[in-house]
Amino acid sequence: MNRIQNILVPVDFSDHSGRALDMAVSLAKSLGATLELLHCYQLTANMIPSYGVVIPEAFDRSVREAAAIQLGQWREKAAADGVEVKARLCSTYPSLGIVEAAEELGADLIVMGTRGLAGIKHMLLGSVAERVLRQAPCPVVTVKASDIV
């Protein structure tokens, strides 16, 4: 296995991704790796053709700004633990954005939170973590909120 230098950490600001970030910080410190935080937010299509509804540009900008502020806070928290941390936003479907970012960055590892979906929704849609596991160009570690104390 190659040396792990770049760890991608997708975050959705949930407890699961918080625990994944904790694990990624610990790994980065022990391996001398760099972290790249990624938050993917996806708004519904700019226009819903059936209804002719358009999401106002100001709404999209507000969501992006709010996400950037939260992502910056998470980046600062991780950096305070003594690791090099970068952060980026994307406005695409999370699993697609995560896989694309991993490829673009040359990520050696993805550390991400997971939460199970129940019932028929899970059977039909699967989860973001499952899609990333199937499509990622590198190993993926998934962390449940209860996995780390």
Distance CA 112, CA 131 (A): 12
pLDDT category at 140 given cuts 50, 70, 90 is: very high
Tokens found for residue 54: 């358009």
Q: Is the pLDDT of residue 91 over 90?
A: no
The predicted pLDDT at position 46 comes to: 52
For residues 17 and 129, is the Cβ–Cβ distance under 8 A? no
Between these two residues, 126 and 38, which has the higher pLDDT value? 38
Buried residues in 96-132 as b, exposed as e (16+ CB within 10 A): bbbbbbbeebebbbbbbbbeebeeeeeeeeebbbbbb
pLDDT digits (tens, 9 = 90+) for 51-85: 666 767 787 788 889 999 999 999 999 999 999 99
136: left (phi over 0), alpha (psi -120 to 50) or beta: beta
The predicted pLDDT at position 128 comes to: 87
Tokens found for residue 125: 């849609």
Between these two residues, 16 and 116, which has the higher pLDDT value? 16
The predicted pLDDT at position 32 comes to: 94
The whole-model pTM stands at 0.84
Residue ranges per structural domain of the chain: 6-113+128-147
Residues 6-113+128-147: name the CATH superfamily. HUPs (3.40.50.620)
Q: Is the pLDDT of residue 146 over 60?
A: yes
